[in-house]
Amino acid sequence: MATIQWFPGHMAKAKREVSEKLKFVDIVFELVDARLPLSSRNPLLNQILQQKPRIILLNKADLADPKQTTQWIEYFKNQGITALAINAQESQGIKQIVPLAKEALKEKMARDKARGLKPQAIRAMILGIPNVGKSTLLNRLIGKKIAQTGNKPGVTKGQQWLKLGNELELLDTPGILWPKFDDEAIGMKLALTGAIKDQLLHLDDLTIYGLDFFARYYPGHIKTRYAFADESLLGGELIMQLSQGLGFRDDYDRACERIIHDIRQGKLGRFTLDRIEEVDYE
């Protein structure tokens, strides 16, 4: 697979805006895909945020392997970062966000109180790569549909302040994605979860990657979803068999689209592509 180049102008602008607006917020909510706790993080963020307090929100936790999610939360905790598993679509975990933000900012709030300042709403910024669920999270936090949602990368274009009662004010920002993926596996993982445009990859390559992953880490899941599947088959041979079994005959592109859709929707079971046991702790 060729190195993926995808860094639209509005994302370069977003990076500048984040850097400029950072001084106006108390804390950053870094939204990642629970299936990709590392690969869906933007490596530029550490450089941009520096010492700014943050909470990592592992969204779409209902689609991720729960054992892996628990271990990832512990992993971030060991790095001194609070992490929380959420499912923005179903509002699961949402009510814990503000209390966690207050806990992270308790020293600042105590200093403000000692200086005689009136309690202010926490000002926060939600950051994440495209299609990780920022707009859905905003809608759940505010309690009404105020942010445009879409199931494709790059829906959010502008920047706006949103008020959540008297406790929280949110600055929504477009997703930022790094200029290129030097690691081919990261590109594949992002594509398999829908974080980057399908047109950037060959669907058969992506399908083979997904099927190989399930065969290795979740044996039996392919067979459970497609009763006619022979999991001993590899790559293109398995796609051909699935294409026949799904009634698509020789329309392999259509079969690939269906398989990728099934994986993204969790129809092959819950999974986590970034494996905690493979993390380099150095």
- Positions at the binding site for GTP: 59-62, 131-136, 175
How far apart CA 228 and CA 224 sit, in angstroms, is 9
How crowded is residue 109: how many other Cβ atoms within 10 Å of its Cβ? 16
Residue positions in the annotated binding site? Answer: 59-62, 131-136, 175
Which tokens hold the place of 88?
């923005």
Map tokens 């977003």 to a residue. 14
**What are the DSSP calls for 10-24, one per residue?**
HHHHHHHHHHHHGGG
Map tokens 């920047």 to a residue. 159
DSSP state of 142: H
Q: What angle do CA 105, 33, 62 make, to 5 degrees?
A: 100
Under 8 Å between Cβ of 42 and 32: no
Q: Which residues contact 60 (CB under 8 A, 6 or more apart)?
A: 33, 34, 35, 87, 88, 89, 132, 133
Give the Å distances, CA to CA, from 17 to 28, 43, 182, 273.
14, 17, 25, 31
Q: Radius of gyration (Cα) for the chain, nearest Å?
A: 20
Q: How many residues comprise the chain?
A: 282
Under 8 Å between Cβ of 266 and 63: yes
